[in-house]
Structures are given as structure tokens and as C-alpha cells.
Structure 1
Amino acid sequence: MAALRSAKKALRLEMKRRVAALSDAEKRRQTEVVSRRLIAHPKYQNCQRIAVFLSMADEIQTEYIIKDVFQRGKECFIPRYKSRSNHMDMVKLCSAEAIQQLPLTSWNIRQPAADGSQEEALTTGKALPQSPAEGPDWR
């Protein structure tokens, strides 16, 4: 188990180094490619509920995807995690503009407050598949 942790740590450091070496123009290009491919995918086109993370500066930027979700009349869910926990809920976002009103976490990520007023994706939607064989096709 220690060897696996060490390998994962080394891989994370290498990925962080590679991302830091990318130019802003290359990061924008990759964001556009990923966004276009996702939005064109038939599974995205046919679903009504989308869960998406709010991006940090060194990640694929998700603002365009979130705006597209709302333009198409789909429901959008974003992560809310609990400090010092592995637990994460996906809670409903009411609009793309509402993101700017969300409080910042210690990681400088906007997320809904834990006041319990937001709809949570897994309690209001269709049940998730029970096995990987029943899961989504992520090709």
C-alpha cells in the first residue's frame, strides 16, 4: 500500500509540473476542445441533469459548459464537500450567474453553503446504476 501511495504522489507531482508548464493559450485551447466534445456527445445532448465541478485556475475551465447547461434548460449540479471529510454532495445550482454569489472555501473554490436548502442530485433524481456494467459509457 505504501508503494501505491508513493506512486500516486509522484504521479500527482508530475501532472502538476506538466500543467504548470502549459501556456495560458494552450490551457484555453484544451478547455475549448474538451467543452466542444462534451457538449456534442449524444449522452450530454439527451440528459436533463448534469453534474459538473467548478474549476480552479489550473484545471479545464467549466464556465462555458455550465452556461450551456442552463441555455439548454437542463438542471445543473455542483459539488459541496464537507471539511475534513471524504463526503461530497452534488447540489442544484439555480443559474450560471449564481456561482458568483457562492461563498469561497479555504481552497478558494466557490460552493453552496451547507444550510441544507439546496436540492441534492442523488435524493431527487433517478437511481444510479448498481454495478460498473450498468454505468455510463465514458468513451
Structure 2
Amino acid sequence: MGVAVVGVGGAGQSIAKALANKYRFADVYAMSDVKNFYNFFEFKDLGKAIRTLEAYDSIILTAGMGGRGGEYLLKLAERLNNVVAIFLCKPFRIERQRVRKSERQLLQLSFFEGKIFVKKLDELIDRMPDATLSEALEIFDDEIASVIAEFIKN
């Protein structure tokens, strides 16, 4: 049935939204506890999401790690056999607890070696020191959406 991109949690949902706003060659879904998207699953609807996503030939997952989005991305990755790539954001290094949790989550994804692409939010500070946080995050989301789009095209 083609390709679906699933943004999980707040960061994943923002990336999915950026992708949906620019590109039309994949179905885009979001999974979170705050509905901010058309094709949406609540975290509690994990089973329904899996049944829907199993019908696709290829699934691409994206999320920010270190929180609930990362936890639900793990659940999707473990249960879906059609995941072809995972695009992740690591938290800012000052978010020490989330950084530690993200490291544990990444270890649990080791069976996807070669299919995982990780960007660090700390890059924003280095690359855009004068931008506001919301401006930098919007640019970051657009960049990841563009990388996902290139991955799908190839």
C-alpha cells in the first residue's frame, strides 16, 4: 500500500507535520497524547495504529527520544515488520535525565542497526546561536522532514 511516515510524541508529531506540509508522496500519521494532526492516534490506541500501519509496504518512524514518544516508538518498532527507517532526535545535553533515558531507548533499537538516523538538538545551539528556540526547532523539523523525503525518493 505504499509508504507511511509516523511521527510519535511531540517532536515526532512536529516533524510529521513539517513533512505533510511540504510533501505529498507518503501517508503521514501522528501518535501522541495531544491531537494536533489529521491522521492521528492517541498513545492508548497502539493496537489500532499497528493494525492500520501493518497494511503499508514501508513504515518510517520519527520521534524525539527520552520521553513518552520514544517509548511508543519502541513499541511500534518492536511490533511492526515493515519499518524501513527510524529518524530520531536526541534531547539537549542539559536535559540529563532525558539524555540518559534516550540512551537506553537507543540501545533497545539496536536490532535496527543501519536503519537509524539520529540528530542531536544540541546542533541547534551551535548552528543557530541567535535564533529563538521555536525558530530553531521549526528549522530542525523542516531539515529532518527533508531528509526523510530524500530517503523515500531513493
Normalising by structure 2, we get a TM-score of 0.31
Radius of gyration: which is bigger? 1
More strand by share: 2
More helix by share: 2
